[in-house]
Structure 1
Amino acid sequence: MSNLLSIAIEAATQAGKLIKENFGADLTVNEMQRHDIKLELDVRSQKLITDIILGHNPDHAILGEEEGDIGGNGDIEWIVDPIDGTVNFYFNIPHFCVSIAARNRETKESLVGVIYDPMMNELWTVEKGGVPQLNGKPISASARAEMKEAVVTVGFSKSKSALDAGFERYKRIAYEVRKTRMLGSAALALAYIACGRLDAYVEEQISLWDIAAGVMLVEAAGGKIMTQASTIKPGTMFICATNGKLDIEPYL
């Protein structure tokens, strides 16, 4: 195990412990948006992760959902989502995770990815050139290649334009597949594709910290990722992730 992966696992599991301890507790809401919620616990989880990473390597940079760009000017950049699935967490729905990735700051090459679901105690890990794992066991994407066999998750984003585009896409997909699911965590959607539980995930408007670790997992597990700049909100992106065998693009 590389030093970077060891740090990512330490940070993800410690943050996961923190958020699990607060599951079901009274929560401080920093911001209640129309289609999103920002919690004080998001900030606390981000700070815990930041302290662990910079405690090991003060020169590393961190791009996090809650703090923006912080840290040093070293050649490693960490991409952190301290609670992916905050709305689920707030409403006591036990489907959320911590997502941490590291990449080369200059080349943007992915180096490690970790996703931790503290409620299920499931830890997905991957590092450059390695085999993706779930709780230490190798995983791979599913072999399902036909839409009629597939289970697909569709994310619905946080603006009217993104929602409208998602509704139209959802109709095209839902008629063709075995089942659709709306789960509320982009990182876990990607982790589930990597280990064969889901076959595809589509969302109109997503941020880098939501998907950085998951993209690396999916690609290492034999899946395929398509991203492009969002036409709806600058700085976000459209994503379509599959098991690498399902041809979903005609329905997008």
Structure 2
Amino acid sequence: MRTHRHAAKAVTLQHQHDIKLVLDVRCQKTIERILLRTFPGFSVLGEEGVLGDQQAEHRWVVDPIDGTVNFAYGVPHSCVSVALQSRTIGLNSKGGNDSSGEYETLIGVVYDPFCDELWTAIRGQPARLNGTIIHVSERSKLRESIVSVGFAKYRHTLEQMLPVFHRLIHKVRKIRIMGAAALSMVYVASGRFDAYLESGIRLWDIAAGGLILECAGGEFWRRAMPGKHTYQIIANNGLLRRKLLARRSVGAEL
């Protein structure tokens, strides 16, 4: 990603609010090849579908370039996100699972090549940034909080988030729209942000960041939406979700 930062970007798919690059596909295939060669009994889930044994006990969840539009336009705010999940039964929506409730995230890795920052987490252990233990903020007042808001590419999710955005502006210190879900989540984990909200986000965008956030002492709340691997989320420091909901800062949309 650093190498291609200033190069012309070949686009394979365009949407009004999103794009897909040739480099996206190349990075995905490279990561898949490495993971399946190293872990032949696992599968890999990403935007292109599932590769490998779909009945495997373990699967990797990969987003090769989270923040593709940023990257394509030369904005140095995007990352690679990789999570390892294990098939299990009966977990709730707070535990890092997909909509079927059959997977738990065991390992999460998010790498920002532009800042050379690597976030890592193993379930049950502290989250780390470049090897140093991190923790969420202790800010408990909305008026002192920085909240990141994400806008997915589809019209109905945009329409859901606009009222949320409008209400939050008047309740928090600052709103940030960064364009890379995984980075917004690990920024919450690092105490840089206090919460991150989005509707219509996909599993590969949030699986790694969700575990890193939990291991940093935060709360990763999510609810399944129509569409496979699609969610509404409130990632926060563990002190703000109820206040957001109770004051209807977020309201029925989330």
Using the size of structure 2 for normalisation, the TM-score is 0.88
Q: Runs of 4+ in structure 1 displaced over 6 angstroms?
A: none
* Structure 1 residue corresponding to 2:165, chosen from 162, 165, 170: 170
Q: Is structure 2 residue 84 aligned with structure 1 residue 117?
A: no
Q: Is structure 2 residue 91 aligned with structure 1 residue 134?
A: no
Q: Is structure 2 residue 233 aligned with structure 1 residue 239?
A: yes
The CA deviation string for residues 35-65 of structure 1, in whole angstroms up to 9 with x for no partner, is 1001010001011111111111111100012
- Tell me which residue corresponds to 2:222: 227
Q: Secondary structure at the match of 1:21?
A: coil
- Tell me which residue corresponds to 1:13: none
Counterparts of 1:126-205 in structure 2 under 5 Å?
126-205=121-200
- Number of equivalences: 232
- Displacement after TM superposition at 1:235 (Å): 4.2
Runs of 5+ consecutive residues of structure 2 not aligned to the other structure? 90-102
Q: Distance in 2 between matches of 1:156 and 1:64?
A: 20
Counterparts of 1:32-111 in structure 2 under 5 Å?
32-65=14-47, 67-72=48-53, 73-107=55-89, 108-111=103-106
Sequence identity percentage? 44
- Displacement after TM superposition at 1:234 (Å): 5.5
Q: Distance in 2 between matches of 1:197 and 1:148?
A: 15
Amino acid paired to 1:33: H
- Tell me which residue corresponds to 1:12: none
Q: Distance in 1 between matches of 2:26 and 2:150?
A: 26
Amino acid paired to 1:170: F
Change (3 A) 1:45 1:226: same
- Superposition CA RMSD, Å: 1.2
* Structure 2 residue corresponding to 1:249, chosen from 234, 245, 250: 245
Change (3 A) 1:234 1:62: closer
Q: Secondary structure at the match of 2:44?
A: strand
Q: Distance in 1 between matches of 2:49 and 2:34?
A: 17
Q: Distance in 1 between matches of 2:214 and 2:57?
A: 23
Q: Distance in 1 between matches of 2:73 and 2:22?
A: 15
- Tell me which residue corresponds to 1:211: 206
Q: Secondary structure at the match of 2:2?
A: helix
Change (3 A) 1:171 1:41: same
Q: Secondary structure at the match of 2:164?
A: helix
Which shows bigger deviation, 78-87 or 237-246?
A: 237-246
Amino acid paired to 1:243: N
Which shows bigger deviation, 160-169 or 185-194?
A: 160-169
Runs of 5+ consecutive residues of structure 1 not aligned to the other structure? 1-18
The CA deviation string for residues 171-213 of structure 1, in whole angstroms up to 9 with x for no partner, is 1111011100000000000000001000000011100000000
Change (3 A) 1:151 1:115: same
